[in-house]
C-alpha cells in the first residue's frame, strides 16, 4: 500500500506554509533522425537570458529554466532536482514530473539513455537521468551527514489505460497482473494506493536493480512517432525515513518523499497513426493529461472546483499540484517545425502550470511512540468500523461511519482495504524500526570494537610517549653532563693557558739569566785580562824599578843612606799599596763569591720555580686528564649539534605520533562520543521501548488475531489474506537475508577500513621504531667517536707533558753544567788573581829585599845609621809589624826635602800608577762590570 502523501508525515505538519509557485523548466531535445531526414527545421528558439522560448507564433516565458539541445543531464539535475533531494532529506515531499509530446525526451530526462552493459555506474554515463542521479544523491547526502539510522523504500507504479499496476510486484507481467486500488485516505490527507510494494533498499545497487526491473516491465509499444514510446504514466517514489535520537533519549522519526513522474506522451491520435488498442491507449493517455490540464487550469484560475478525482493521474498528483509538495515540472519539446503545434500546446500547458501555487510543508519529526499510537488508533477505529459494518448493528459504529456504510456497501470493502493498508503500513514501519535497530546494534558493536582499538592505540601511544620521555630525560642528563664537562674543559684550558704564559715568562727569565751568565763570563774574562795587564804592568814597573835601582845604585851611591830611607819609605808605601791590592782582590773575590752565591741562589730559585711550575703543570695536567675526554670545544659543538639533531628527530617522531594521535583521536573521539550518546540515550529508553513495543506487538497480535477471526467470517478474504501473508513473509525473509548480506558487506568494509587504519598506524609505529633505532645508533657512533677523540687528545696531552718535562730536565742539566763551568771559571780566575798577587808580592818583596840589603850596605859602610832604626826597617821589610811613625824617616825627609824631590820623581809615578791600577775603583763586581763601557776598562 502506498499513501500519497504519507499518513505519517501528513498527520503532523509544520504550520509554516508559504505559497510557492511550482518550478517549470523547458527542455528542447535535438532533432532526431526522422526529423532530420524529412528536412525539418528548428521552429523553436531558446532564449537563455530571458529564460523564454521563442516560436513564430508566440514567445513563452519566462520559465524557471530553459534548456537548449546542448543541455546535459547533469545540468538539468543540478538545476532542478539536487535542491529537492536536500529538501526530501530535510523532511519535505517533492515531486518532479516530465510532461511533453511523445518522443520529446521525457523518459530520457527522467531515466536516462540506454545504458550499455559495460557501463557500471551512472557516473560513467553522461546520459544518466534524474531518477538514478537522485537516488545516488540521497545515499551520498545521508553519508555526508553521517546519518547511520535510516531506511529507504522504493515503489514504482504505472498508470496504464486508467489502471494502476505495481512495476515491482512479482506478478506484474502479463494481462492478468494485479490492479492496484486507489482510495482516499480516511484522514483526508492524501490518497492511498492499496497493495503496492514499498521495497526496502539498502544500497545503490538495489535501486538500480529495481529501476531496471520496473523500466523493463513498463509497458511500451511502438508507435510511428517514437520507437520506444511509453504508453503509460510512471511514478517512481523514494521514501526516506530517518531516525534521530534526541538528547532527552527520545527517538524521533522524520520522513521525506521524492516522487519522480514520467508522464506518457501527449499525442495527436491521427498523427501518431495509433489504431485499435493503441488508439484506446492514446485516448486514455490524452484523457488523463486533459484532466491534468483542467486541474492546472482550475488551480490557476481559482476555479471553485478542482477536478482531481476525474482521473487517477490527477488523484495521484493531487498533493503535488496545489498541495503541500515542492514540485517541479519539466516540459519537453521537439524543435522540429513539423511538431510546432504540439510544442506550442506543451508550452501553453507549461506556462499555465508555472502559475500553480503550492504550500510546501515540512513533515515534522514524530516520535516512535506517537506513530505507533496513530497506527493503533487508526487500526482500532477501522476495526470498530469494520465490525460495525459486518454486524450492521450500528451499535458500536460511529454515527458518521454508520451512515456512510448504509449509503454505500462498497464502503465495507474499502474499510477492509484501509485496514489492510494500515496494518501493512504498521508492518513496514515495524520492519523499518527493526532494520534501524539492527543498524544501531551493528553501529554499537562497531563502536565497541573501535573503542577497544582506540583504547589499545591510546595505550600504545602513551607507552611510546613514555619511552620518548625517558629518552628525552636520558638525553637531557647526557646533555647536562656534557655541558659540565665542557665548562670544566674550558676552565682547564684557561689554567693551561695561564701555565703556558708563566712558562713563557720563565723562559724569558731563563734567557735573561743566561745573558747575565754570559756577561759574567765576559766580566771574568775582562777581569782576568785586566789582572794580566796589571801583572804585566807591575812586572814592567818592577823591572823599571830594578833598572832604576841599578841606575840609582850606580849614579847615587853617595846618597845611599838617604836613598835607603827613601826606599824604605817607598817600600812602606808599596807595602800599603800591596795591602790595599790584597784587600781589593779579597773584596773582589768576595764580591765574585757573593755574586756566584747570589747567582746560585737565583738559579736555585729559578730552578725551584721551574720545578714548581713543572710539578704544577704535571699536577694540573694529571688532575684534568680525566676531564679531558671529549672536552674540546669543537667536540662540544659537534656533540651539542648532534644532540640538537637527535632532539629534532625525536620531536619529529613525537610530532608524527602526535599527528597520528590527533588524526585518530578526533575521529574516534567523535565516533565514540556520538555512539556513546546514542548508547546512553538508547540504554535509557531501550527497555521502555522494547517493553512498549512488545506490549504493542502483543496488542497487535491480539488485534490481528481478532481481525483474522473477523476476516475468517468474510471467507474468501481470509484465504487471500493468508496467501498474501505467506508471500509477504517470504519476501520479508528474502529482504531480511538481503539486508543481512548488505549489512555484512558494510560491516566487512568497515572492518577493512579499520584494519587499514590499524595497519597504517602499525606501519607508522614500525617506521618510528626504525627511525628511533637508527637515531640511537647514530648517537652511539658519535659518542664512540667522541670518546676516541678524547683518548687521542689525552695521549697527545700526556705526550706534551712528557716533552715539557724532558725539556725542563735538559734545561736543568744545561743550567747545572753552566753553573759548574761558571764556578770553574771563577775558581780559575781566583787562582789566576791569587797567583798574580803572589807573583806581584814576590816581585815587590824581592825588590824590597834588594833595596834593604843595599841599604844595610849603605848604612854599614857609608853613613853609619843608628842601630835603633834597623829593626824598624827589618820589621818593615819582613812585614812583621808596622814601622814607628815618627821615626828617622821623617827627620831624613825634612833634612833633604829639596834634593829628594828631584831624585824621587820616578818612584812617585810608579806609586801613582800602582795606586791607579789597584785602587778599589778599578776592582769591581761582575755585576758592575756588566754595565761598564768598553772604553772605561783600563788598558
Ligand X SMILES: Nc1ncnc2c1ncn2[C@@H]1O[C@H](COP(=O)(O)OP(=O)(O)OP(=O)(O)O)[C@@H](O)[C@H]1O
Residues that bind ligand X (CB under 6 A): 29-30, 32, 100, 102-108, 113, 226, 228-230, 264-265, 332
Q: 4 near 323, Cβ under 8 Å?
A: no
Q: Exposed, middle or buried, 542 (CB in 10 Å: 0-12/13-18/19+)?
A: buried
Nearer to ligand X, 113 or 906 (CB): 113
Scan for cell 745573558, then name that residue.
515
CB atoms inside a 10 Å sphere around CB 468: 17
Nearer to ligand X, 104 or 374 (CB): 104
Distance CA 844, CA 575 (A): 8
- The nearer residue to ligand X, 100 or 195, going by C-beta atoms, is 100
**At its nearest, how many Å lie between ligand X and the CB of residue 32?**
6
Smallest gap, in angstroms, from Cβ of residue 221 to ligand X?
9
Tell me: is residue 100 an annotated ligand-binding position: yes
Residue 107 annotated as lining a ligand binding site: yes
State in angstroms the smallest separation of the CB of 334 from ligand X. Answer: 9
71 within 8 A of 27, measured Cβ to Cβ: yes
Report the first-to-last Cα separation within the chain, whole angstroms: 155
For the chain, counts of helices (H) and of strands (E):
21, 20
Instruction: Report residue 695 as a C-alpha cell.
Output: 506490549
Contacts of 903 (CB under 8 A, 6+ apart): 552, 556, 559, 563, 566
Taking the complex as a whole, how short is the minimal distance between the CB of residue 28 and ligand X, in angstroms?
8
Can you read off the three cell numbers belonging to residue 843? 816581585
CB of 285 to ligand X, least distance (A): 9
Q: Are 172 and 163 in contact (CB under 8 A)?
A: no
Three-state secondary structure readout of 586-653: HHHHHHHHHHHHHHHHHHHHHHHHHHHHHHHHHHHHHHHHHHHCCCCHHHHHHHHHHHHHHHHHHHHH
Residue 331 C-beta: closest distance to ligand X, Å: 11
**Of residues 342 and 892, the one with the C-beta less far from ligand X:** 342
SS3 label, residue 505: helix
Answer yes or no: is 557 a known binding residue. no
Q: How far apart are CA 62 and CA 21, in angstroms?
A: 13
The Cα angle at residue 365 between residues 361 and 371, in degrees rounded to 5: 110
CB of 234 to ligand X, least distance (A): 10
Q: Is 718 annotated as a binding residue?
A: no
Nearer to ligand X, 127 or 600 (CB): 127
- Please check if 101 is assigned to a binding site: yes
Residue with cell 528558439: 45
| Pairing relationship of beta strands 179-184 and 191-194 according to DSSP bridges | antiparallel
Q: Is the peptide bond before 5 cis (omega within 30 degrees of 0)?
A: yes
Q: Minimum Å distance from CB 757 to ligand X?
A: 45
- For residues 117 and 114, what is the distance between their CA atoms, to the nearest angstrom? 9
Instruction: Select from 221, 46, 201 the least CA-distant residue to 138.
Output: 201
Reduced to 3 states (helix: H, G, I; strand: E, B; else coil), residue 182 is strand
Closest approach of Cβ 229 to ligand X, in Å?
Answer: 3
Q: Which of 771, 760, 751, 749 is nearest to 664 (CA)?
A: 760
Scanning 32-97, the segments in alpha helix (DSSP H) are 33-37, 73-76, 82-90
State the nearest-atom distance from the C-beta of 186 to ligand X, in Å.
Answer: 35
| Torsions phi, psi for 797 (to 5 deg) | -60, -45
- What whole-number distance in Å separates Cα of residue 887 and Cα of residue 868? 10
Return d(Cα 593, Cα 605) in angstroms, integer: 18
The answer to whether residues 650 and 432 touch, using CB atoms and an 8 Å cutoff, is no
Minimum distance from CB of 76 to ligand X (Å)?
Answer: 9
Distance of alpha carbon 84 from alpha carbon 97, whole angstroms: 13
Distance CA 681, CA 247 (A): 7
Cell numbers that stand for 605 in this block: 730559585
| For residue 209, cis peptide bond before it (omega within 30 degrees of 0) | no
Nearest distance in Å: CB 113, ligand X = 5
Rounded least distance, CB 446 to ligand X, Å: 44
Report whether 939 belongs to an annotated binding site: no
Residue positions forming the annotated binding site for ATP: 100-107
Which parts are annotated binding residues?
100-107
Amino acid at each position: 500500500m502506498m499513501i500519497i502523501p504519507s499518513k505519517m508525515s501528513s498527520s503532523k505538519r509544520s504550520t509554516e506554509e508559504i505559497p510557492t509557485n511550482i518550478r517549470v523548466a523547458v527542455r528542447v531535445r535535438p532533432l532526431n533522425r526522422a526529423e532530420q531526414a524529412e528536412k525539418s527545421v528548428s521552429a523553436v528558439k531558446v532564449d537563455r537570458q530571458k529564460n523564454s522560448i521563442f516560436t513564430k507564433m508566440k514567445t513563452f516565458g519566462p520559465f524557471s529554466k530553459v534548456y537548449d539541445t546542448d543541455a546535459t543531464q547533469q545540468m538539468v539535475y543540478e538545476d532542478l532536482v539536487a535542491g529537492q533531494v536536500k529538501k526530501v532529506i530535510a523532511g519535505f515531499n517533492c515531486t518532479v514530473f516530465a510532461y511533453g509530446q511523445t518522443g520529446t525526451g521525457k523518459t530520457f530526462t527522467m531515466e536516462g539513455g540506454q545504458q550499455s552493459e559495460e557501463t557500471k555506474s551512472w557516473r560513467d554515463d553522461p546520459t544518466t537521468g534524474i531518477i538514478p542521479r537522485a537516488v545516488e544523491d540521497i545515499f551520498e547526502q545521508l553519508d555526508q551527514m553521517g546519518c547511520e539510522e535510516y531506511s529507504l523504500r522504493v515503489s514504482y507504479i504505472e498508470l496504464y489505460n486508467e489502471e494502476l499496476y505495481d512495476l515491482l510486484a512479482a506478478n506484474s507481467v502479463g494481462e492478468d497482473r494485479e490492479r492496484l486500488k486507489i482510495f482516499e485516505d480516511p484522514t483526508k490527507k492524501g490518497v492511498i494506493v492499496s497493495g503496492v510494494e514499498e521495497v526496502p533498499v539498502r544500497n545503490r545497487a538495489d535501486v538500480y536493480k529495481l529501476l531496471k526491473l520496473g523500466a523493463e516491465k513498463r509497458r511500451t509499444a511502438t508507435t510511428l512517432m517514437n520507437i520506444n514510446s511509453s504508453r503509460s504514466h510512471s511514478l517512481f517514489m523514494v521514501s526516506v525515513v530517518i531516525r534521530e535520537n534526541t538528547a532527552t533519549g527520545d527517538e524521533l522519526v522524520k520522513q521525506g518523499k521524492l516522487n519522480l513522474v514520467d508522464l506518457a506522451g501527449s499525442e495527436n491520435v491521427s498523427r501518431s497513426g495509433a489504431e485499435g488498442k493503441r488508439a484506446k491507449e492514446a485516448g486514455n493517455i490524452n484523457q488523463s493529461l486533459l484532466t491534468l490540464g483542467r486541474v492546472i487550469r482550475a488551480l490557476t484560475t481559482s476555479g471553485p472546483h478542482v477536478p482531481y478525482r476525474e482521473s487517477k493521474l490527477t488523484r495521484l498528483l493531487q498533493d503535488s499540484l496545489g498541495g503541500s509538495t515542492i514540485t517541479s515540472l519539466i516540459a519537453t519539446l521537439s524543435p522540429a517545425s513539423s511538431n510546432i503545434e504540439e510544442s506550442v500546446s506543451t508550452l501553453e500547458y507549461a506556462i499555465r502550470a508555472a502559475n500553480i501555487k503550492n504550500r510546501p510543508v515540512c513533515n515534522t519529526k514524530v516520535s516512535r511512540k506517537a506513530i505507533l499510537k496513530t497506527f493503533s488508533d487508526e487500526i482500532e477505529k477501522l476495526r470498530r468500523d469494520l465490525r460495525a459494518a459486518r454486524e450492521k448493528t450500528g451499535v458500536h459504529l460511529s454515527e458518521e461511519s454508520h451512515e456512510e456504510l448504509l449509503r454505500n456497501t462498497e464502503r465495507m470493502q474499502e474499510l477492509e482495504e484501509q485496514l489492510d493498508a494500515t496494518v501493512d503500513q504498521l508492518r513496514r514501519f515495524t520492519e523499518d524500526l527493526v532494520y534501524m535497530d539492527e543498524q544501531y546494534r551493528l553501529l554499537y558493536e562497531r563502536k565497541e570494537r573501535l573503542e577497544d582499538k582506540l583504547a589499545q592505540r591510546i595505550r600504545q601511544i602513551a607507552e611510546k610517549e613514555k619511552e620518548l620521555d625517558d629518552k628525552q630525560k636520558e638525553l637531557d642528563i647526557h646533555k647536562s653532563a656534557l655541558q659540565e664537562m665542557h665548562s670544566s674543559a674550558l676552565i682547564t684550558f684557561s689554567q693551561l693557558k695561564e701555565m703556558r704564559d708563566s712558562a713563557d715568562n720563565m723562559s724569558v727569565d731563563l734567557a735573561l739569566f743566561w745573558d747575565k751568565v754570559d756577561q759574567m763570563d765576559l766580566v771574568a774574562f775582562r777581569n782576568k785580562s785586566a789582572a794580566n795587564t796589571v801583572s804585566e804592568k807591575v812586572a814592567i814597573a818592577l823591572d823599571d824599578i830594578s833598572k832604576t835601582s841599578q841606575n840609582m845604585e850606580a849614579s847615587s851611591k853617595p846618597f845611599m843612606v838617604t836613598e835607603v830611607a827613601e826606599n824604605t819609605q817607598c817600600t812602606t808605601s808599596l807595602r800599603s799599596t800591596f795591602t790595599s791590592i790584597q784587600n781589593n782582590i779579597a773584596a773582589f773575590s768576595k764580591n765574585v763569591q757573593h755574586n756566584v752565591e747570589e747567582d746560585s741562589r737565583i738559579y736555585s730559585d729559578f730552578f725551584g720555580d721551574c720545578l714548581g711550575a713543572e710539578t704544577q703543570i704535571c699536577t694540573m695536567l694529571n688532575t684534568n686528564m680525566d676531564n679531558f675526554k671529549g672536552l674540546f670545544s669543537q667536540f662540544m659543538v659537534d656533540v651539542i649539534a648532534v644532540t640538537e639533531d637527535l632532539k629534532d628527530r625525536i620531536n619529529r617522531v613525537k610530532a608524527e605520533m602526535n599527528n597520528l594521535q590527533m588524526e585518530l583521536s578526533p575521529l574516534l573521539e567523535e565516533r565514540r562520543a556520538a555512539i556513546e550518546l546514542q548508547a546512553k540515550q538508547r540504554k535509557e529508553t531501550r527497555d521502555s521501548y522494547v517493553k512498549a513495543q512488545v506490549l504493542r506487538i502483543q496488542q497487535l497480535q491480539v488485534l490481528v488475531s481478532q481481525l483474522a477471526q473477523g476476516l475468517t467470517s468474510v471467507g474468501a478474504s481470509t484465504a487471500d489474506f493468508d496467501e498474501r501473508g505467506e508471500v509477504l513473509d517470504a519476501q520479508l525473509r528474502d529482504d531480511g537475508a538481503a539486508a543481512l548480506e548488505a549489512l555484512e558487506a558494510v560491516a566487512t568494509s568497515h572492518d577493512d577500513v579499520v584494519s587499514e587504519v590499524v595497519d597504517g598506524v602499525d606501519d607508522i609505529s614500525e617506521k618510528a621504531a626504525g627511525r628511533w633505532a637508527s637515531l640511537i645508533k647514530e648517537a652511539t657512533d658519535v659518542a664512540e667517536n667522541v670518546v676516541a677523540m678524547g683518548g687521542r687528545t689525552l695521549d697527545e696531552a700526556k705526550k706534551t707533558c712528557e716533552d715539557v718535562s724532558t725539556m725542563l730536565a735538559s734545561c736543568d742539566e744545561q743550567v747545572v753544567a753552566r753553573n759548574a763551568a761558571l764556578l770553574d771559571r771563577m775558581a780559575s780566575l781566583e787562582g789566576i788573581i791569587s797567583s798574580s798577587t803572589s807573583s806581584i808580592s814576590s816581585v815587590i818583596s824581592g825588590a824590597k829585599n834588594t833595596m834593604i840589603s843595599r841599604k844595610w850596605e849603605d848604612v854599614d859602610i857609608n853613613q853609619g845609621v843608628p842601630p835603633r832604626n834597623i829593626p824598624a826597617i827589618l820589621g818593615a821589610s819582613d812585614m812583621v809589624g808596622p814601622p814607628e811613625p815618627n821615626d828617622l824617616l821623617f827627620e831624613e825627609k825634612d833634612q833633604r826635602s829639596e834634593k829628594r824631590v828631584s831624585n824621587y820623581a820616578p818612584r812617585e809615578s810608579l806609586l801613582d800608577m800602582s795606586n791607579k791600577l789597584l785602587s778599589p775603583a778599578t776592582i769591581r763586581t761582575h755585576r758592575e762590570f756588566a754595565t761598564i763601557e768598553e772604553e772605561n776598562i783600563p788598558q
